[in-house]
Structure 1
Amino acid sequence: MEPIFFVQLSDIHVNAPEKNNPMFGVDMSAKLRAAFAEIRSMRTKPAFVLISGDLTQDGDADDYRHLRRLIDEEAERTGVPVHVGLGNHDSRPAFREGYLGEEPSEESYYYSFLEKSLRVVMLNSQIEGSHDGEIDAKQLAWLRDTLSEPAPEGTIVVLHHPVTATPNAMMDGHLLRNPADLKDAVHGQGVIGMLSGHIHFHNIGSLVGIPCAAATGVAFGLDSTSPNTMRFLDNSGYNLVTVSGGHMAVQPRMLPGEQRLLYEWDPAKQPAHA
């Protein structure tokens, strides 16, 4: 069977341009377009693109309308489908209204799809008003039911919040609250990999032998080597993912950028961060 090749983007933090309030003074829409331009330059065309949450910065319906137009344009130019999930900066009601064109609702947004014989599951780990995440009991039950039907090439689970620790203690409060529950749901069920974002730097780990890869942000990065402050950097990256023979391989990639310091948050001096 031919390998399945796709791209994971994360943390794009787009706002509607008419707001004229770009985060850190950086045009996040332009950064997303640059990521798609890089995808179009690849010699191997990906089967699809995933965006694993933090679709917008403010989470307003107008932000999602703008984002939907942008993604539709880039998906058509690139010739690949784009699948999105939600993160802590997202609003479920505004997403449903602005991006999906549905009635606003607090209902969690999660689903699965097949690419040839590979199944991809997109979960919703956001907790309103919190930087950490959780997979609720309803989703866990749905996930168990979904995984009970085997997929020939296996299943990749995608969620916004990382399930494994990072080398940076500043991120300890930004992970999934209930990784043990997720571990119980996926163990021995043909899950070949887990993808996440949220922390804005690349990080690799494993959960019950399942490789777990967090992608850096498209909008900006964080300095993973800074132990006591959060250093927001003007960089951008993504993950290239290949599935072959029931195994997932991940290549973290960075786009050309200035690497300049955008902002530094010191929790000892400032009450909150972006």
Structure 2
Amino acid sequence: MKTVKFVHLTDTHMNAPGKDGLLAKFQLADKVAQAFRYIEETKIAPAFVLITGDLTHEGDAEDYAYIRQVLDEGSRLIGAPVHVVLGNHDHRGPFREGYLGEQPSEEPYYYSHTIDGLRLIGLNSQVPGNHNGTVDETQLAWLKQELSTAAPHGTIVALHHPMLGIGGMLGDHILTNRRDIGEALVGTDVVGVFAGHVHSDNVGSYMGIVNVAAAGTAFIGKADAEENFRMIDACSINVVSVTPGEGVSVQTLTLPTSGTEYFRFPMKALAAQH
């Protein structure tokens, strides 16, 4: 059976050059360019690249136009398309205007594409002004209809908020209606759910379906003994292989960075951000 390979990036938090803001000074687009160079130099040859949200950090249309430029350059370099979903730090109107070239709209961004026989379903789990996520009823109904027909090599689902917390942590930052989503996926051809948001690698299963949360491409999060959450300079990518009838494998690769701390905040403050 044909194995379909893709690269999973997440939480790129890019801003256009010259912008102000918490993360703009770190030039995080350089990390994304580094990831695409690595993909090309190591001949990974993915069918596509998937980015599971927080494309920017509270960006405007100018930021999204710049992100589109960065990702288009990466796509040309590796000869593969890039597909994205939106995260809690993204904004739908500016995304549609700057990235898609459409009229600004607050409509959720979701889609279905089939690439080399593998169906990719992208969902919008944003709740504006909130850190946790929900897939609304309209998307759920559409998802069920989409999954009523199987794809040649199965289906993966991509969204920003994961279905699993991390060892009891960050439970308030995952999907609030994960059971509804799980019930929509059980018994279909879905072989895995791919997410970001938590800035840490986390692989498990929910209702019998593989769930993968990837560490950030821009930075990773680490808890310390003083109950702080530390954001560390890092660049992580996942290479995912889907083989029909066999399953999913995930290889995590960490690219060279300084490893310095960007910033930290108390875990209690994180827990308060519902």
Paired letter, 2:176: R
Range with bigger deviation, 248-257 or 232-241: 248-257
Residues 112 and 119 of structure 1 are in contact (CA less than 8 Å); yes or no, is this contact kept in structure 2? yes
SS, match of residue 114 in structure 1: strand
For 2:43, the equivalent position in structure 1 comes to 43
CA drift at 1:22: 6.3
For 1:174, the equivalent position in structure 2 comes to 173
Paired letter, 2:110: Y
Q: What residue ranges of structure 2 are gaps of 5+ in the alignment?
A: none
Number of aligned residues:
272
Paired letter, 1:125: S
Paired letter, 2:230: R
Q: What residue ranges of structure 1 are gaps of 5+ in the alignment?
A: none
Residues 167 and 224 of structure 1 are in contact (CA less than 8 Å); yes or no, is this contact kept in structure 2? no
TM superposition score normalised by structure 1: 0.94
Structure 1 runs of 4+ off > 2 angstroms? 224-228, 267-273
Distance in 2 (alpha carbons) for counterparts of 1:112 and 1:227: 43
Distance in 2 (alpha carbons) for counterparts of 1:9 and 1:250: 12
Change over 3 Å in CA distance of 1:270–1:130 after alignment to 2: closer
The 5 Å alignment of 1:84-163 reads: 84-163=84-163
Change over 3 Å in CA distance of 1:102–1:244 after alignment to 2: same
Residues 24 and 262 of structure 1 are in contact (CA less than 8 Å); yes or no, is this contact kept in structure 2? no
Range with bigger deviation, 82-91 or 261-270: 261-270
CA drift at 1:208: 1.4
Matched, 1:79 2:79: yes
Change over 3 Å in CA distance of 1:22–1:16 after alignment to 2: farther
For 2:63, the equivalent position in structure 1 comes to 63
Distance in 2 (alpha carbons) for counterparts of 1:267 and 1:148: 41
Residues 22 and 28 of structure 1 are in contact (CA less than 8 Å); yes or no, is this contact kept in structure 2? no
Range with bigger deviation, 35-44 or 260-269: 260-269
Change over 3 Å in CA distance of 1:236–1:24 after alignment to 2: same
Change over 3 Å in CA distance of 1:103–1:242 after alignment to 2: same
Paired letter, 2:148: S
CA drift at 1:7: 0.1
Distance in 1 (alpha carbons) for counterparts of 2:226 and 2:140: 34
Distance in 1 (alpha carbons) for counterparts of 2:188 and 2:269: 46
Residues 14 and 24 of structure 2 are in contact (CA less than 8 Å); yes or no, is this contact kept in structure 1? no
Change over 3 Å in CA distance of 1:226–1:105 after alignment to 2: farther
For 1:230, the equivalent position in structure 2 comes to 229
CA drift at 1:269: 7.6
- The CA deviation string for residues 77-98 of structure 1, in whole angstroms up to 9 with x for no partner, is 2211111110000000000000
Residues 144 and 184 of structure 2 are in contact (CA less than 8 Å); yes or no, is this contact kept in structure 1? yes
Distance in 1 (alpha carbons) for counterparts of 2:166 and 2:218: 20
Distance in 2 (alpha carbons) for counterparts of 1:216 and 1:42: 20
Distance in 2 (alpha carbons) for counterparts of 1:145 and 1:153: 18
Matched, 1:165 2:165: yes
Paired letter, 1:184: E
Change over 3 Å in CA distance of 1:211–1:227 after alignment to 2: farther
Change over 3 Å in CA distance of 1:113–1:92 after alignment to 2: same
Residues 156 and 191 of structure 1 are in contact (CA less than 8 Å); yes or no, is this contact kept in structure 2? yes
Give the percent of matched residue pairs that are identical in Structure 1 and Structure 2. Answer: 43
Residues 224 and 230 of structure 2 are in contact (CA less than 8 Å); yes or no, is this contact kept in structure 1? no
SS, match of residue 17 in structure 1: coil
Residues 118 and 151 of structure 1 are in contact (CA less than 8 Å); yes or no, is this contact kept in structure 2? yes
Change over 3 Å in CA distance of 1:26–1:88 after alignment to 2: same
Change over 3 Å in CA distance of 1:109–1:32 after alignment to 2: same
Residues 15 and 24 of structure 2 are in contact (CA less than 8 Å); yes or no, is this contact kept in structure 1? no
Distance in 2 (alpha carbons) for counterparts of 1:253 and 1:180: 31
Paired letter, 2:184: A
Change over 3 Å in CA distance of 1:108–1:181 after alignment to 2: same
Distance in 2 (alpha carbons) for counterparts of 1:146 and 1:270: 35
TM superposition score normalised by structure 2: 0.94
RMSD: 1.9
